[in-house]
């Protein structure tokens, strides 16, 4: 082999189209996760489904046509992954029927909806009092229960539940107001 000959690409390297599809998934990952969470409210299971969806999107990348609606395609894959997980006996305590999941999936909003809501969510989180931010971070980012948060903050579990309710209500009102302003 001559020194000037280009090296052959390893067979297991993804092609340009697959990389493009993976980049689209990463760009829209937040919307995909929000879609999954709307159908499967368990955070750990939703994270698993996001990963399974990414793997399937990668494996089926050749089926995606550039210029078509990527998010609709990814949502369909996510919906099938959720239904597969349910058939395997998912652990979720909330059991929606397959028909309800199908109806919810059909009525899912467009990508712009999620992006404007997440932008509003970020702005609203920044406006919250530091203690409210901490409680929400502990509950949703670190996935700690109220009793665990109470022990960590040296509060009663009831005080944590009240603070969480107030923070959630404040966030809901703020996000609704900010989303309307953007729309």
Mean pLDDT over the full length of the chain: 82
Residue 127 is predicted with a pLDDT of 93
pLDDT in tens, 1-33: 444 434 444 455 678 889 999 999 998 888 888
Q: Higher pLDDT residue, 69 or 113?
A: 69
**pLDDT one-digit tens code per residue, 80-137:** 998 888 888 755 545 566 676 666 666 666 656 667 777 888 889 999 999 999 999 9
Percentage of the chain beyond pLDDT 90 is: 39
The reported pLDDT for the residue numbered 149 is 94
Higher pLDDT, 40 or 132: 132
Q: pLDDT confidence of 155, banded at 50, 70, 90?
A: very high
Residue-range domains of the chain with CATH: 16-108 (1.10.1740.10), 112-182 (1.10.10.10)
Phi, psi angle pair for 110, to nearest 5°: -70, 165
* 54 C-beta neighbours (distance < 10 Å), count: 19
């Amino acid at each position: 082999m001559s020194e000037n000959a280009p090296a052959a690409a390893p067979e297991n390297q993804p092609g340009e189209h697959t990389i493009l599809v993976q980049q689209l998934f990463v760009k829209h990952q937040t919307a995909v996760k929000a879609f999954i969470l709307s159908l499967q409210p368990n955070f750990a299971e939703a994270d698993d489904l996001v990963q399974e969806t990414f793997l399937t999107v990668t494996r089926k990348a050749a089926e995606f046509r550039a210029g078509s609606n990527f998010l609709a395609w990814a949502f369909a894959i996510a919906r099938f992954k959720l239904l597969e997980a349910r058939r395997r006996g998912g652990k979720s305590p909330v059991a929606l029927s397959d028909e309800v999941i199908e109806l919810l999936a059909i009525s899912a909003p467009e990508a712009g909806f999620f992006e404007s809501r997440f932008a509003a969510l970020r702005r609203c989180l920044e406006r919250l009092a530091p203690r409210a931010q901490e409680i929400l971070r502990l509950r949703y980012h670190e996935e700690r229960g109220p009793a665990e948060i109470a022990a960590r903050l040296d509060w009663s579990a009831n005080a944590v539940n009240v603070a969480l309710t107030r923070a959630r209500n404040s966030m809901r009102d703020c996000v609704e107001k900010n989303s309307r302003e953007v729309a």
